[in-house]
A and B are shown apart, each in its own frame.
Chain A
């Protein structure tokens, strides 16, 4: 597969997943603003923006949050911007992805403006989640399990691990008591799976454990780190030691085992910085993947003066 196309696919995976998770995080956040009686709204908003790595003032209005993270297509961090970027990459990889996947991304992009003007943000977030589900559904029903599939899955699982880490960071949002674990589970569509697996009321430790290290649930951090690791092995089987791929796998494995083998109380006591470690591992792996697969091994530069 062409390096340039692989890079586009990787990023389509990341962007689509990012749009979905941003919608989930915002949904929880706006709910929290409604439900928490002691909320300091401007501070909580600013704190959320910080979690999503958007530069902001110490206080921010609800409108600012909506613009920066949801509706403004000129901002890279917003859902609209993210879907736009996914669609741009799909245009570049148009001959590799299937027509239906392209059309589903393209129509989402086309309808974005109208959809984001709804008075009820919750409707918009639901729509975004549905649209991304359509993309994934079509993609998984129509793509051969070759590199085209692997690179998109790789981007998707890295992004998902990263975004869940960010979602969990909102537990320690300033200005609020933080969303409760039930709504965190719900926002990951994990509440029902949790109840079936754990068979108990939602407690902090159990819920955290479920979202951090459950081996079977597709929205736990460890599941996605593990998936990224195995996908890398599928793309480049039989790794030599200390290659770039190997280093990426190592970073991911380290982050995963760190969560798996640490006492859950210790993680909870130090949740924000633990989650930051996950994010650092994801971004390190992402950089290594770029260096290994997307950049040419050697540049042949045509130099005018040399002639």
Chain B
């Protein structure tokens, strides 16, 4: 057992083939991770496991869970944080903001004059064949010009440590609640480290979102009634919906709580109908309004798209945003950034073949076994085929799918996602991660939440990180937060707490005196009668 004392959780940790964010290949710890490294270095393996279990237990009690085969499991949060240096964040944050502005401009164009088509940037067919292009919302002008109130831009870091955009999410990006609750759990677990490192706070997200939704309210509404629309308690993201409603201080409604009358939206309350001005909806477009979309959906409310067209209610994110996060449109994003903003893109894309182009398709067909093939409208890692890991029959099936509908697929080289140390049953090991920063657009400014959701693939070598595919999460620490220490107020302006009264202690101050007397009396009488005191 004497050997064990030399072992730390880091013993045996070796970076794999990909870019390891904590450690260089020669074993040197990278700058942002130095403090985390030495903190964990002081612990034993059991200590680290015990902390991980404590986190899981807290999550179970708080109800931060997801359903796994009918059983409630705590949402998996890895105990090792992911650290992003402030110099890296200075690339990511403006990069994400630029991306959101581009998406916003593109959507305004698509549902407006379609200048990008006339100028030959994007083929018209690409837009009209997108499953999420909804003609019903063409011509609806959002109140303050915002369609993407919240965006989640998925980033990955390749073999060379370069941050790249993997996909855009501007429909109903989810996961921000885990950023908030992961932070709460981790700051309790590593409180010392936290203060010492200057981690930027994430808590203001809800206030930012609320402010952005308030700004997006219909014209003339001073103090808008904002609601969060959830599909209901059985939705896997229900925890997030209720957390956002709670932290924003607004109502969480279901479709059945809403009704429309005369082009206005109301919610049913115990005191009758109450007007709703802004709906932050977490229900997909297709389920939002049975009048214009799926007629069998009970998750939305009939008539709310009409109310939005009349300008009586704001739907956030706007209906029809899906056309912008189509993975084929994704391939045009760098050009669109130059076209709309006149800027070079800060964050590059992952190289992508458009399979509609015959030359590209031919090349991809030849190299299918070494590429990643994705459906253009997929979310949550569904339908993704990783060539090197696929069997011959899977490859054959993919080949057939692509030839049937080239519009429906894209191909990318296998990106070796960067790795971060992660606690596994065998101790700390490198695991692949991605990052989803969240951006809130209030019409004047795009604010990027410093941090974001780091998703981690828990199986060795696994490249798909989605939680629906067995992925976990990490708290993301962005460094460079300013921490004011020492006296902040000049001595001459200090408030004097004069006249503070002492905290009262007892309602019966005389009891003490009485008690003393009583005890004296007893002792007196004992010694008088000569009894031995016991």
Contacts and interface: CB of A to CB of B under 8 A. Distances in A.
B296 A107 contact: no
A106 B295 contact: no
Interface stretch (B95-103, B265-273, B340-348): B265-273
Given A95-B246, A110-B60, A2 B251 contact: yes
B264 to A, nearest CB: 13
B254 interface: yes
Nearest to A302: B302
B61 interface: yes
Contacts of B260: 300
A302 B242 contact: no
Interface in B249-307: 250-254, 256-257, 259-260, 267-272, 290-291, 295-296, 302
Interface string A283-307: 0000000000110110010101001
A1 interface: yes
A91 B65 CA distance: 12
Main SS class of interface, A: helix
A297 B251 CA distance: 20
Contacts of B254: 4
Interface in B30-58: none
A304 B246 contact: no
Given A102-B63, A107-B61, A6 B270 contact: yes
A114 to B, nearest CB: 13
A147 interface: yes
Nearest to A105: B63
A92 B251 CA distance: 12
A197 B295 CA distance: 65
A235 interface: yes
Given A95-B242, A296-B268, A304-B296, A4 B61 contact: no
B295 A2 contact: no
Contact of B269 (A2, A91, A92): A2
What interface size band does chain B fall in? 20 to 34
A294 B290 CA distance: 24
Interface string A37-73: 0000000000000000000000000000000000000
A304 B297 CA distance: 11
B233 interface: yes
Interface in A63-107: 88, 91-92, 94-95, 99, 102-103, 106-107
A4 B259 CA distance: 14
Contact of A3 (B243, B245, B270): B270
Given A2-B257, A95-B242, A302-B291, A110 B61 contact: yes
Nearest to B62: A103
B296 A300 contact: no
A4 B251 CA distance: 11
A134 to B, nearest CB: 13
Contacts of A307: 295
Interface string A125-158: 0000000000000000000000100010000000
B268 A1 contact: no
Given A1-B269, A106-B61, A147-B270, A300 B252 contact: no
A4 B63 contact: no
A3 B63 contact: no
Given A94-B246, A95-B243, 20 more contacts: A1-B270, A2-B251, A3-B257, A3-B269, A3-B270, A91-B238, A92-B233, A99-B62, A106-B61, A106-B62, A110-B61, A147-B270, A293-B270, A294-B270, A296-B268, A300-B302, A302-B290, A302-B295, A304-B295, A307-B295
Interface of A: 1-6, 88, 91-92, 94-95, 99, 102-103, 106-107, 110, 147, 151, 235, 293-294, 296-297, 300, 302, 304, 307
Interface of B: 60-63, 233, 238, 242-243, 245-246, 250-254, 256-257, 259-260, 267-272, 290-291, 295-296, 302
18 contacts: A2-B253, A3-B268, A4-B254, A4-B257, A5-B251, A6-B269, A91-B63, A91-B242, A94-B242, A95-B251, A99-B62, A102-B63, A107-B61, A294-B270, A296-B268, A297-B268, A302-B302, A307-B295
Across the A-B interface, the 3 shortest Cβ-Cβ residue pairs: A95-B246, A94-B242, A95-B245
